[in-house]
Chains A and B, each alone.
Chain A
Amino acid sequence: MTDSIPPPGVSLDVSAIAALFRDHHAELVRLALLMLGDLATAEDVVQDVYASLHRRSRAQGRAQTVEAPLPYVRAAVLNGCRSVLRRRAIAHRVGLAHRASLTDETTVRASAESEVILSEDRRQVLGALARLPRRRREVLVLRYYLGLSEAEIAAVLGISTGTVKSTAARALAALARDLGEPS
């Protein structure tokens, strides 16, 4: 499903944006879901990125030129996820967590659904993943869910391949420790 992806260095106009999202909508939502943990917010993030790219394209009056459209959009989705996570962290700091956990019934619902689909073992792994620092979590998701190479991960995150390599190694070691496995 990569036929409609514009080649590197070409214009990301409105139709190219639409085609890109049409072909990769589910993948982008899954990426956001793995970073955020709930589907509705993941969908919101992807919708926001889509609308934002449209707005930018229209506002500039010309198509935006990007080197690699798909990594660019993945990076935009990850940026959106970071914003959500930042807001969550702030909310944690103001101490409203307990009240929210009791008032948001949809969260209960999402948990119930997850319970059916995810086994205890998987929840344990995802819990350990969620406890990792953001950058490490991003590297692991890009590598072990999307199967990206170190160079591709570097392109999405805007870091060097060396940093990707070291971050992945540290993240895996931390994950293994948390899961009680030999690293």
Chain B
Amino acid sequence: MTRTEERLRDALGASAARVRDDRLRPLPAAETAETAKPPETTPRRSTLRRHALRRHMGWLGPVAAAMSVLLIVALALTVTGHSHKATPPVSYPALPAGFPKYFAQIAGPSQIPGPSQLDVVIRSTSTGAEVTRAPTPDVPGWRLTPQTVAAAPDGRTFYIAYQAVDLQKNTSQTWIYQLTFTHGGSSNYLDWIKGDPFPGSGLLANGGSMAVSPDGTKLAFTGATQQQDGQSWPDEISVVDLRTGAGSVWRVGLSRPGQTFTIPGISWTSDGRSLVFRAVWCHPIPNSDVCLDDPGRPGYRGPQVRSLDVGTRGGTLDHGSTLRLGQSARYPVIADAVAGPGGELILAVLSGPADAATLTVERVDATGRRLGVLYRSTAYGTVGLPASVTLTPDSTRHYLLLTYNSQNGLVSGWIDHGKLRFLPARHPNSGLPITAW
């Protein structure tokens, strides 16, 4: 073998080694490999949404064509190495292999964003640059507001839940759209998901959340069945099969007299068989979107961390779920909990005096034994409420985004060996946290 052949073989091998089996976008399931037709929904909603999408995406044709040309050229430059010369070096620290490429943020252009002024912005985790943007669909007779976003494991699909208010009837629904964008974000496509109308109330209320299963085939989200003082609180869990639209719902069974039951967050276990959620009993503050989980209140019972076997295909929450962890001296206030990569729990725990609380993020096994502390901060202080702490795992569950109210305002960063590394994006004026990556 000549020197040229040796160098060629080495270079090809090294270049090919960039492809990691565990980070490849999964191939579509056999029955969804042919995605020529959009999914059907009920005629009324379907018509509205089609209309909205046409209006919304009418400009996309020529723009997408132009942008795809730009994109293709950029890719060609990558092959020939010209882009190394044409672009300045990236000044952000190197991110580990397998790190999520993009994160989603609900952002508005104005100081006090109105309902239709909010967009979902997808940004690069390495540079913070805006990759693509999904403006809120304009549907005649409806006012849509993005509420939360969930990331699919393929890295280029996000699910957006919009609160849709019927302007004539003054009633609300939740509409969930799928945002898919091309490499580089030069074009995107917004489509509704199968399964609408969803099982249960289908209403993502205050603090509602969504999570995509590890294989990308199911979407779990919290819904609200009850309304108090004009506010709804998420108290049920729905799971929709994204391939077929079939759904299941779990509701009621965990209420306590005199308290409002809510489910502030859900996450999938890595095997995709269960959901981990935090059950909270709180007291709504009238005319606000705050439900106070006040540890100082007499008769206070702390949040529970529970797991729900999605194989039970619906039912009541008390029978469908099992208690994983409750309030204890070690875990006085569980501010958030998600499933870890190895079946363990990851908790955000507040402890110490209320005016100088310490926030710790720790790994806990099935028996409640502490496996290790991932992050600790005394900067939590008294700003914000316990519910403002949010843990968001990436699709691999190896990287964890922590968002909380510090004395300096809303903070979002990923936990890297005990330190919080901020994502390179400022919070927009709306102050809405990053909900998916």
Contact = CB atoms under 8 A, between A and B. Distances in A.
Nearest to B18: A117
Contacts of B77: 97, 100-101, 107
A87 B72 contact: yes
Contacts of B30: 14-15, 18, 54
Interface in A82-101: 84-85, 87-92, 94, 96-101
A139 to B, nearest CB: 12
Given A111-B78, A121-B7, A104 B70 contact: yes
A110 B78 contact: yes
A127 B77 CA distance: 10
Contacts of B36: 55
A111 B71 contact: no
B27 interface: yes
Contacts of B367: none
Interface string A56-88: 001000000000000000000000000011011
A119 B13 CA distance: 12
Contact of A130 (B3, B33, B81, B126): B81
A33 interface: yes
A30 B69 contact: no
Nearest to B12: A145
| Dominant SS among interface residues on chain A | helix
Given A54-B30, A125-B7, A172-B4, A108 B87 contact: yes
B74 A21 contact: no
A39 B185 contact: no
A15 B29 CA distance: 11
B27 A21 contact: yes
Interface string A145-156: 100000000000
A88 B18 CA distance: 23
A129 B70 contact: no
Interface string B172-208: 0000000000011110000000000000000000000
B355 interface: no
Interface string B155-174: 01000000000000000000
Interface string B205-223: 0000000000000000000
Contacts of B50: none
A83 B21 CA distance: 25
A2 to B, nearest CB: 17
B14 A122 contact: yes
Contacts of B12: 34, 126, 129, 141, 144-145
B33 A144 contact: no
A109 B74 CA distance: 12
B14 A117 contact: yes
B285 interface: no
B316 to A, nearest CB: 38
A100 B70 contact: yes
B76 A109 contact: no
B82 A101 contact: yes
Given A40-B183, A107-B74, A50 B27 contact: yes
Interface in A21-67: 21-22, 25-26, 29-30, 33-34, 36-44, 46-47, 50-51, 54-55, 58
B19 A88 contact: no
Given A14-B30, A117-B18, A105 B75 contact: no
Contacts of A181: 2-4
B11 A91 contact: no
Contacts of B73: 88, 91-92, 96-97, 100-101
Nearest to B92: A112
Nearest to A55: B34
A180 to B, nearest CB: 10
Contacts of B131: 105-106
Residue from B73, B89, B94, B156 having most chain A Cβ neighbours under 10 A: B73
Instruction: Sort A-B residue pairs by CB-CB distance and give the 7 closest, nearest first.
Output: A37-B79, A40-B183, A104-B74, A88-B76, A125-B11, A54-B33, A100-B70
Interface of A: 14-15, 18, 21-22, 25-26, 29-30, 33-34, 36-44, 46-47, 50-51, 54-55, 58, 84-85, 87-92, 94, 96-119, 121-123, 125-127, 129-131, 140-141, 144-145, 172, 175-176, 179, 181, 183
23 contacts: A15-B30, A38-B78, A38-B79, A38-B183, A40-B156, A43-B24, A43-B25, A51-B34, A55-B33, A87-B68, A87-B69, A98-B86, A105-B124, A106-B124, A111-B84, A118-B11, A118-B14, A121-B11, A126-B81, A127-B80, A130-B81, A145-B12, A172-B4
